[in-house]
Amino acid sequence: MARPRSFDEAVVVDAAARCFTEVGYAATSVDDLVGATGLHRGSLYGAFGSKRGLFLAALARCAEPTGERALDLLLVAALELAPHDEEVRTAVERSCAALGGDASSSLGRRLLERARVRSDVPDSHHPRTRRS
C-alpha cells in the first residue's frame, strides 16, 4: 500500500511552474525542481513520474490561462515542447481555445513583454508604417 502524500500537490505544481517559467523547460533541472518544491527526488518521481509529468501537471492547472504565470507557462509549452510532443501540443491548443479569439494577441503581447521588447515602436520595414 502506498503512503499518503505529505505535501500539497497544488503548492508543489505551482512552485514547479515558477521554475519552468523563469528559465524554460530545457534549462530547468530535476535538482532545480527538488529545490523549488521541497520534495525529495523520489517523491517527485513517485508523484509525477518525471520532469515532463510535473510540467504536464502544471500545464493542466492553467487549462484556462489567466494571468501572466499561466501565459508564461503556455509560451514555454508552445515554444519548447509542442513542436515535438503531441500531448503538450494538444494541451496548448486547448488553452488557446479557452483564450478564444484573443489567444494570438494575448500570447504575442506576453512574449514581447517577457522579451522586454516594446511593441509600440513603429517598424520602418512594415508596409503600413513605412514613410514614402
In the chain, where the domains are located: 9-114
CB 98 within 8 A of CB 90: no
Q: Measured between alpha carbons, how far is 9 from 97 in angstroms, rounded to an integer?
A: 26
Confidence of residue 130 (pLDDT cuts 50, 70, 90): very low
pLDDT tens readout for residues 56-100: 999 998 767 678 899 999 999 999 999 999 999 999 999 999 888
Q: Measured between alpha carbons, how far is 30 from 96 in angstroms, rounded to an integer?
A: 28
CATH architecture of the domain with range 9-114: Orthogonal Bundle (1.10)
Whole-number average pLDDT of the chain: 88
